[in-house]
């Protein structure tokens, strides 16, 4: 017997020690002596028995003779439809339930659960990482004796199929075998396939060698004196490599004596091994006793093996397949057909190739209009269905539906296996709550200052990593017992699941910035003189933040569990988590030749971004908005309108500042290409083409206003002064309003309201048409809907119950009723009921759009619109309605996004529930406390002219909005004969447009119409203003470069590095911004006074003065008082107020104003306004005509539509 055989037999014999007869026959291992995966399982069993006989499970061996067709019997296929080996059947003592583990990694996981010493917690993550390398390839090229074939079908299967007495189920299994045997084995010995497997095996063995060099020293195992499952896998692979004469693949040190627990790896004579193998095959296998160890022991490992069944060749662009097993494994799942026997039975619930094609057809219908599904993959599905090619169909089904996510971007970032590391630890809670407290307090305090910055979750994600590593260095590794509760302050190495919990807590606490309710409380206290005390503040803040959490949990079956809900923003976080915790290099064969690791690339780009931002952020601010055309002609109105970045159309988008690109809209590297193009379609069609038509035609008195601004204006062209329409108590005064002015909006601002109306109606119609059936099926099936690989892995953890979320929602609603009714808010309880219907109705539709496109559609306009009509004249009620209606839905989307992040990272759902909820409540308390501290300790805080800029800009904006929408009300702006009433047509446009695009997409499902998303077209530009067209164009151009050109030409690079580049740019910018703010702005360091900072802003565009007619020169000459909204105006013939505005006829003198001609004074004035005296005459002329045009508070278009009242020649 060879030396290795003796060593393996020693392990086999050790199993005999310490048997417990009462547990015999509870576990049966079906194995084949030729299967590499059977070998490694048996070696692991032997090592476990040697390590600790008392805890080792008792396993009985059952030989499966593949060459004689033992795995094709009806009994065996009933045990495992795939007909593969090894298979472990276990029966728990005292129970009748039988558990079948049909994959080697599941068996190893079961064994490690019985004997944790085989997977030491201190080395668990490293062992799993190296084992992942082993399970990333299939050892089919290492076969020695392939099965005999007859017409492409295994002899025994062909013979059985000719037997008319076999059952239908058995026949269908054998038919599948006959279809797929050739496909699964084809190409297994191709040179390219062999080289690929050898390369992957070399990576695994090199990693094992590194461990050996670093850790083992003079010991005989990889991790010292005790064996692990990694030892079992390594020695089994080495044995197979030597049997196939591929010794050169492994590193030389692994062949030396006394390594990985064996004396040497010399196998002795092949002839002796063959003789022993033939002798064993003639005998019946028995239990693990002394006779077994002598005649059928692990010395059979030296037998020439038969190759495991090969994996079907992957589809182009599809990642390597992964598991279909519901039982999650510790290690990465391999293909279902992973072991020695290539026969593959149907999946559970599917018994024939026809069922496979039907399943594929259902997949095709579900994803027919899915814009994120690659069209090439859908073409493959259609081809398989059209030709009835079951062979190709099942291959596609495995690749797209069972083994991994069907979406390439998800496959590139999210691992399709789980790592058993703790998430709910003292370390995670302490670090998370500390960072939650600091971040919430700092963000709240800085929100009171102008300009302001905020600590984002990217910052927390970065600084939490070194804090976690420092914790490992400082805290003792010992177990503590407090009142019977045992815990360890250092439960192993700081891992990525703890990191996810910390970031989820921060994101729930202040992911959307400071607490929105504080703006309401500040406006209420400072501008309305109301202070209801701490109880009102706390309850209002907590309910605003937490009500949405209950809705998010109830909607997770629609927004979190389905694979189609990819949530692109989560992919960046996942990539950054894995990058920080895995510093390995990249495989150049998969990254277009790049070998740099993602961690190193992140450090390089992040550092470069941090250093560069000091240039546009402080040294040369003109590089941010690089509008060189406006610099060349700073006083040219047309040039500043067309090319201005602040108040113009920004038709030449150029910037060297990442803030301009991502500051408002987020990173353009995150959304899918189709989402970017839909947003750009809305910008170009509405805010450039339509806006130009309206603005340059003078519609809505555009000549007197800038194209774009965040401000609203009065009839003198000044920023609307809301204090002039309030009485001494801060309430709306209609008389003062009539004496002052109506509200006028810049063209872009008015259109922004229009597309917001369209988006609200479009999202309901679009989701109903495109996703209605899927939503209904998900609602009916609830927890029984078909799972993707990530959902199957998550089922190992106990889910947070639905009633938890429902109870949380009910409690928060009850407290909210107490808040609105228990204090004199002016907010009726019935209005609160309507308010809560808004997030209930729109959460799932808007969540679906965001999960697919990364574009969130806001409901702030809708809430302002509804409350303005329902309860006019109550500003505080308006602010509270907006908080409960809009912010609850917004917070629910944040919570749903974090739940998907935990889903991707395999964090237990109950840990996510408790961490997010506790962090939210604590954050609300901290921010309310900081707000009250600032009001009490910062002198003159929130004063408009505060010397240190503590002006509370957020609360001022909220106060202004409360006056405009809560006091003036939408009826005076958008209803009846109001100036902007035509914008109401956008409701209809938004409802009709999705129907048209849906019909076109159904007619031509693979055309560009499948990518058209009308809610994104209308809702994507929702941040305009304060964002400008210039911001959107810069954002879109960068997005097109990365997500179209680079993704198409350098797909491997994009899949590996795109999201890391995005995270690095954002992190570098945020850290640099915070440093500049705290070191320069907070210390009031004078800015550099030179042309690059000062000269570049001396333009009409920057000052928002690019207007054709300066209304300010007639300031104070127009008023409307009691004449406001009357039907008659002054007749310019008789001077009486009897000229009917609509009939264009004077009732006193009969002057027919309809016959007057329009007089274009612009051309005449243009010829004389350039000289000095001509300029003065021109201004006087403008003033005179402008004065005549301001009647009834409605400015006339002085450039194009000035009416010169002249008497008809007949009169």
Distance (Å, rounded) from C-alpha 863 to C-alpha 871? 12
Please say whether the beta carbons of 332 and 104 come within 8 A.
no
| pLDDT for res 401 | 62
| pLDDT for res 666 | 86
Q: How many percent of the chain have pLDDT more than 70?
A: 72
Alpha-carbon distances, residue 97 vs 75, 91, 92 (angstroms): 18, 6, 7
Distance (Å, rounded) from C-alpha 981 to C-alpha 1171? 42
DSSP 914-960: HHHHHHHHHHHHHHHHHHHHHHHHSTTTT-TT-TT----HHHHHHHH
Run of H or E residues at 89? strand 87-91
**Dihedral sign from CA coordinates of 1036, 1038, 1039, 1044:** positive
pLDDT digits (tens, 9 = 90+) for 1112-1147: 434 333 432 333 344 445 555 555 545 554 445 665
| Three-state SS sequence of 243-271 | HCCCHHHCCHHHHCCCECCECCCCCCCHH
The CATH superfamily assigned to 3-147+215-302 is Glutaredoxin (3.40.30.10)
Query: Residue 281, exposed/middle/buried by CB under 10 A (0-12, 13-18, 19+)?
Result: middle
At 502, is the pLDDT very low, low, confident or very high (cuts 50, 70, 90)?
Answer: very high
Is it the case that residue 315 has pLDDT exceeding 70?
no
Reduced to 3 states (helix: H, G, I; strand: E, B; else coil), residue 1143 is: coil
| pLDDT for res 418 | 82
E strand residue ranges, 995-1048: none
Which token pair is 1191? 């009647």
Distance (Å, rounded) from C-alpha 451 to C-alpha 463? 24
Distance, C-alpha 430 to centroid of its chain:
26
Please say whether the beta carbons of 118 and 227 come within 8 A.
yes
At 978, is the pLDDT very low, low, confident or very high (cuts 50, 70, 90)?
Answer: confident
Is it the case that residue 94 has pLDDT exceeding 70?
no
Q: Which of 142-156, 294-308, 653-667, 777-791 has the lowest mean pLDDT?
A: 294-308
Is it the case that residue 709 has pLDDT exceeding 50?
yes
| Phi, psi (rounded to 5 degrees) for 739 | -75, -20
Alpha-carbon distances, residue 1186 vs 739, 978, 1172, 1190, 1191 (angstroms): 19, 21, 21, 6, 10
Which token pair is 542? 């907590």
Strands 27-31 and 60-63: parallel
Distance (Å, rounded) from C-alpha 844 to C-alpha 597? 38
| pLDDT for res 782 | 56
Q: What is the mean pLDDT of residues 222-245?
A: 81
Q: Which of 107-116, 915-924, 1008-1017 has the lowest mean pLDDT?
A: 107-116
Residue/partner pairs of 970-974 with CB below 8 Å, 24 or more apart: 970/864, 970/865, 970/868, 970/869, 971/868, 971/869, 971/872, 972/742, 972/743, 973/743, 974/753, 974/865
Please say whether the beta carbons of 355 and 345 come within 8 A.
no
Distance (Å, rounded) from C-alpha 183 to C-alpha 176? 11
Is it the case that residue 329 has pLDDT exceeding 60?
no
pLDDT digits (tens, 9 = 90+) for 1147-1180: 555 555 443 333 333 333 343 334 444 444 444 4
Please say whether the beta carbons of 453 and 1074 come within 8 A.
yes
Reduced to 3 states (helix: H, G, I; strand: E, B; else coil), residue 315 is: coil
The torsion region of residue 261 among left (phi > 0), alpha (psi -120 to 50) and beta comes to left
Peptide bond before 601: cis, by omega within 30 degrees of 0?
no
Q: How many of the other CB atoms lie within 10 Å of CB of 186? A: 13
Which token pair is 1139? 């000229």
Q: What is the mean pLDDT of residues 721-747?
A: 81
| pLDDT for res 391 | 60
Distance (Å, rounded) from C-alpha 647 to C-alpha 627? 12
Longest dimension (CA), the chain: 130
| pLDDT for res 863 | 84
E strand residue ranges, 972-1030: none
- 937's CB contacts (< 8 A; 6+ apart) are none
| Phi, psi (rounded to 5 degrees) for 1137 | -85, 70
Listed in sequence order, the DSSP H helices in 658-740 are 658-662, 673-684, 691-696, 734-740
Which token pair is 118? 């085989």
Which token pair is 1153? 């104003």
Is it the case that residue 27 has pLDDT exceeding 70?
yes
Q: How many of the other CB atoms lie within 10 Å of CB of 1187? A: 14
Reduced to 3 states (helix: H, G, I; strand: E, B; else coil), residue 99 is: strand
| pLDDT for res 503 | 92
pLDDT digits (tens, 9 = 90+) for 749-766: 889 888 988 998 999 999
| pLDDT for res 1064 | 92
Please say whether the beta carbons of 45 and 111 come within 8 A.
yes
Distance (Å, rounded) from C-alpha 160 to C-alpha 176? 13
Q: Which of 234-248, 751-765, 911-925, 1004-1018 has the lowest mean pLDDT?
A: 234-248
| pLDDT for res 922 | 92
Q: What is the mean pLDDT of residues 1048-1053?
A: 88
Distance (Å, rounded) from C-alpha 283 to C-alpha 303? 16
| pLDDT for res 489 | 83
Mean residue pLDDT of the chain comes to: 74
Q: What is the mean pLDDT of residues 310-325?
A: 33
Is it the case that residue 260 has pLDDT exceeding 70?
no
Q: What is the mean pLDDT of residues 679-684?
A: 92
Peptide bond before 400: cis, by omega within 30 degrees of 0?
no
Distance (Å, rounded) from C-alpha 412 to C-alpha 430? 32
Which token pair is 595? 């070998």
At 351, is the pLDDT very low, low, confident or very high (cuts 50, 70, 90)?
Answer: very low
Which residue matches tokens 């009486």? 1136
- 1090's CB contacts (< 8 A; 6+ apart) are none
- Which part of the chain is CATH 3.40.30.10? 3-147+215-302
Please say whether the beta carbons of 507 and 773 come within 8 A.
no
Distance, C-alpha 36 to centroid of its chain:
40
pLDDT digits (tens, 9 = 90+) for 868-893: 888 877 777 888 888 888 888 888 99
Q: What is the mean pLDDT of residues 152-170?
A: 64
At 113, is the pLDDT very low, low, confident or very high (cuts 50, 70, 90)?
Answer: confident
pLDDT digits (tens, 9 = 90+) for 581-631: 888 888 888 888 888 888 999 999 999 999 999 998 888 888 888 888 888
Higher pLDDT: 378 or 1143? It is 378
**Dihedral sign from CA coordinates of 440, 914, 123, 30:** negative
Listed in sequence order, the DSSP H helices in 244-320 are 270-281, 290-295
pLDDT digits (tens, 9 = 90+) for 774-833: 777 777 665 556 677 888 888 888 888 889 999 999 999 999 988 888 888 888 888 888
| Phi, psi (rounded to 5 degrees) for 89 | -110, 120
Distance (Å, rounded) from C-alpha 841 to C-alpha 829? 19
Is it the case that residue 535 has pLDDT exceeding 50?
yes
| pLDDT for res 156 | 63
Q: Best-predicted range by mean pLDDT among 74-78, 665-669, 720-724?
A: 665-669
Is it the case that residue 13 has pLDDT exceeding 60?
no
pTM of the model: 0.66
62 beta partners: 30
- 913's CB contacts (< 8 A; 6+ apart) are 553, 800, 804, 805
- 516's CB contacts (< 8 A; 6+ apart) are 544, 883, 887
Which token pair is 608? 């470069």
Is it the case that residue 308 has pLDDT exceeding 50?
no
| pLDDT for res 250 | 62
Q: How many of the other CB atoms lie within 10 Å of CB of 153? A: 19
Which token pair is 760? 């609200």
Is it the case that residue 65 has pLDDT exceeding 50?
yes
Distance (Å, rounded) from C-alpha 582 to C-alpha 434? 25
The candidate with the shortest Cα–Cα distance to 300, out of 88, 726, 546, 6, is 6
Q: How many percent of the chain have pLDDT more than 90?
A: 12
R_g of the chain computed on alpha carbons: 36
Distance (Å, rounded) from C-alpha 102 to C-alpha 46? 19
Q: Roughly what angle, to the nearest 10 degrees, separates helices 747-781 and 985-1003?
A: 50
Residue/partner pairs of 869-873 with CB below 8 Å, 24 or more apart: 869/969, 869/970, 869/971, 870/831, 870/834, 871/826, 871/827, 871/828, 871/831, 871/966, 872/966, 872/967, 872/969, 872/971, 873/731, 873/732, 873/966, 873/967, 873/969
| pLDDT for res 480 | 78
């Amino acid at each position: 017997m060879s030396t290795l055989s003796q060593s393996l037999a020693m392990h086999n014999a050790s199993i005999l020690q310490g048997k417990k007869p009462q547990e015999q026959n509870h576990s049966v291992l079906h194995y084949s002596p030729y299967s590499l995966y059977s070998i490694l399982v048996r070696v692991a069993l032997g090592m476990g028995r040697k390590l600790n006989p008392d805890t080792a499970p008792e396993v009985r061996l059952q030989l499966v003779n593949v060459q004689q067709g033992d795995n094709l019997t009806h009994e065996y296929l009933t045990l495992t439809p795939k007909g593969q080996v090894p298979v472990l059947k276990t029966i728990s003592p005292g129970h009748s339930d039988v558990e079948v583990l049909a994959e080697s990694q599941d068996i190893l996981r079961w064994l490690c659960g019985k004997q944790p010493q085989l997977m030491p917690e201190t080395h668990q993550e490293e062992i799993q990482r190296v084992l992942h390398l082993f399970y990333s390839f299939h050892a089919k090229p290492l076969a020695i004796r392939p099965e005999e074939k007859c017409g492409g079908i295994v002899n025994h299967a062909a013979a059985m199929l000719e037997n008319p007495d076999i059952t239908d189920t058995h026949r269908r299994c054998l038919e599948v075998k006959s279809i797929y045997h050739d496909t699964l084995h084809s190409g297994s010995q191709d040179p390219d396939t062999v080289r690929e497997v050898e390369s992957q095996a070399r990576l695994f063995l090199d990693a094992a060698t590194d461990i050996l060099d670093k850790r083992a020293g003079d010991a005989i195992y990889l991790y010292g004196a005790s064996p692990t499952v990694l030892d079992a896998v390594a020695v089994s692979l080495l044995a197979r490599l030597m049997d196939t004469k591929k010794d050169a693949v492994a590193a030389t040190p692994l062949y030396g004596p006394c390594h990985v627990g064996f004396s040497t790896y010399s196998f002795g004579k092949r002839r002796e091994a063959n003789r022993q193998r033939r002798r064993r095959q003639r005998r019946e296998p028995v239990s693990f006793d002394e006779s077994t160890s002598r005649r059928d022991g692990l010395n059979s490992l030296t037998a020439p093996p038969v190759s495991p069944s090969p994996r079907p060749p992957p589809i182009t662009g599809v990642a390597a397949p992964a598991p279909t097993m519901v039982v999650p494994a510790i290690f990465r799942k391999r293909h279902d057909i992973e072991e020695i026997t290539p026969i593959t039975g149907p999946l559970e619930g599917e018994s024939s190739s026809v069922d496979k094609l039907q399943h594929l057809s259902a997949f095709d219908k579900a994803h027919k209009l899915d814009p994120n599904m690659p069209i090439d993959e859908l073409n493959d599905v259609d081809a398989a269905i059209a030709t009835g090619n079951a062979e190709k169909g099942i291959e596609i089904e495995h690749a797209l539906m069972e083994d991994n996510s069907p979406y390439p971007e998800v496959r590139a970032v999210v691992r399709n296996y789980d790592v058993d590391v703790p998430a709910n630890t003292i370390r995670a809670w302490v670090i998370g709550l500390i960072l939650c407290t600091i971040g919430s307090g700092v963000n709240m305090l800085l929100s009171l200052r102008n300009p302001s910055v905020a600590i984002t979750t990217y910052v927390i994600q970065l600084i939490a990593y070194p804090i976690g590593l420092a914790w490992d260095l400082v805290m003792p590794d010992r177990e503590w017992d407090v009142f019977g509760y045992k815990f360890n302050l250092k439960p192993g190495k700081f891992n990525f699941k703890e990191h996810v919990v910390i970031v989820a807590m921060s994101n729930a606490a202040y992911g959307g910035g400071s607490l929105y309710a504080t703006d309401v409380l500040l406006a209420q206290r400072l501008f309305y003189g109301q202070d209801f005390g701490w109880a009102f503040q706390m309850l209002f803040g907590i309910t605003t933040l937490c009500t949405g959490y209950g809705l998010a949990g109830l909607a997770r079956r629609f927004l979190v569990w389905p694979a189609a809900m990819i949530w692109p923003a989560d992919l960046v976080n996942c990539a950054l988590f894995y990058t920080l915790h895995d510093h390995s290099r990249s495989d150049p064969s998969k990254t277009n030749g790049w070998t740099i690791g993602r961690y190193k690339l992140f450090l390089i780009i992040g550092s470069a971004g941090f250093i560069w931002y000091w240039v546009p952020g402080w040294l040369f601010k003109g590089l941010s908005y690089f509008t060189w055309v406006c610099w060349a002609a700073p006083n040219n109105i047309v040039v500043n309108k067309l090319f201005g970045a602040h108040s113009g159309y920004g038709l030449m988008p150029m910037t060297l500042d990442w803030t301009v690109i991502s500051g408002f809209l987020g990173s353009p590297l995150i959304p899918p290409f189709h989402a970017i193009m839909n947003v750009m379609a809305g910008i170009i069609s509405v805010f450039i083409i339509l806006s130009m038509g309206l603005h340059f035609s003078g519609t809505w008195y555009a000549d007197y206003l800038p194209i774009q601004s965040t401000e609203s204006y009065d009839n003198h062209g000044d920023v609307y002064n809301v204090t002039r329409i309030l009485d001494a108590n801060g309430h709306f005064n209609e008389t003062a309003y009539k004496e002052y002015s109506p509200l006028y909006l810049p063209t872009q601002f008015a259109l922004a309201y229009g597309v917001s109306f369209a988006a609200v109606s479009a999202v309901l119609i679009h989701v109903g048409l495109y996703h209605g059936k899927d939503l209904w099926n998900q609602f009916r099936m609830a927890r029984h809907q078909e799972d993707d690989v990530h959902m199957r892995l998550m089922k190992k953890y106990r889910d947070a119950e639905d009633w938890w979320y429902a109870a949380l929602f009910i409690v928060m609603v009850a407290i909210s009723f107490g808040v609105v009714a228990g204090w004199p808010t002016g907010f009726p309880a019935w209005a609160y009921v309507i308010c809560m219907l808004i997030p209930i109705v729109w959460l799932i539709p808007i969540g679906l759009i965001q999960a697919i496109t990364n574009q969130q559609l806001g409901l702030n306009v809708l809430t302002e619109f509804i409350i303005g009509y329902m309860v006019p004249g109550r500003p505080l009620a308006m602010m509270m309605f907006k908080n409960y209606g809009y912010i609850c839905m917004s917070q629910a989307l944040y919570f749903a996004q974090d739940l998907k992040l935990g889903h991707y990272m395999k964090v237990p759902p109950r840990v996510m529930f408790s961490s997010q909820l506790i962090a939210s409540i604590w954050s609300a308390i901290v921010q309310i406390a900081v707000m009250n501290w600032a009001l009490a300790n910062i002198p003159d805080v929130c004063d408009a002219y505060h010397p240190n800029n503590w002006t509370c800009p957020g609360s001022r904006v909220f106060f202004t909005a409360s006056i405009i929408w809560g006091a003036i009300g939408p009826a005076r702006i958008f209803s009846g004969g109001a100036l902007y009433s035509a914008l109401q047509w956008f409701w209809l446009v938004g409802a009709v447009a999705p129907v048209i695009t849906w019909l076109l997409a159904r007619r031509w499902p693979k055309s560009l119409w499948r990518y058209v998303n009308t809610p994104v077209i209308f809702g994507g530009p929702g941040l305009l203003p304060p964002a400008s067209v210039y911001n959107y164009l810069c954002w879109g151009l960068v997005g097109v470069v990365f997500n179209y050109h680079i993704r198409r030409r350098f797909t491997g690079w994009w899949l590996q590095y795109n999201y890391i580049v995005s995270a690095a740019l954002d992190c570098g910018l945020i850290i640099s911004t915070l440093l500049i703010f705290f070191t320069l702005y907070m210390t009031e360091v004078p800015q550099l006074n030179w042309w690059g900072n000062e000269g570049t802003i001396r333009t009409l565009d920057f000052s928002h003065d690019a207007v054709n007619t300066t209304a300010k020169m007639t300031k104070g000459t127009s008023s409307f008082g009691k004449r406001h909204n009357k039907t008659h105006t002054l007749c310019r013939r008789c001077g009486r107020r009897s000229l009917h505005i609509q009939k264009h006829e004077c009732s006193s003198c009969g002057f027919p104003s309809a016959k007057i001609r329009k007089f274009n004074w612009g051309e005449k004035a243009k010829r004389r306004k350039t000289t000095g005296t001509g300029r003065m005459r021109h201004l006087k002329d403008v003033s005179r005509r402008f004065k005549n045009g301001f009647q009834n508070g409605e400015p006339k278009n002085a450039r194009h539509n000035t009416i010169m009242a002249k008497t008809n020649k007949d009169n």
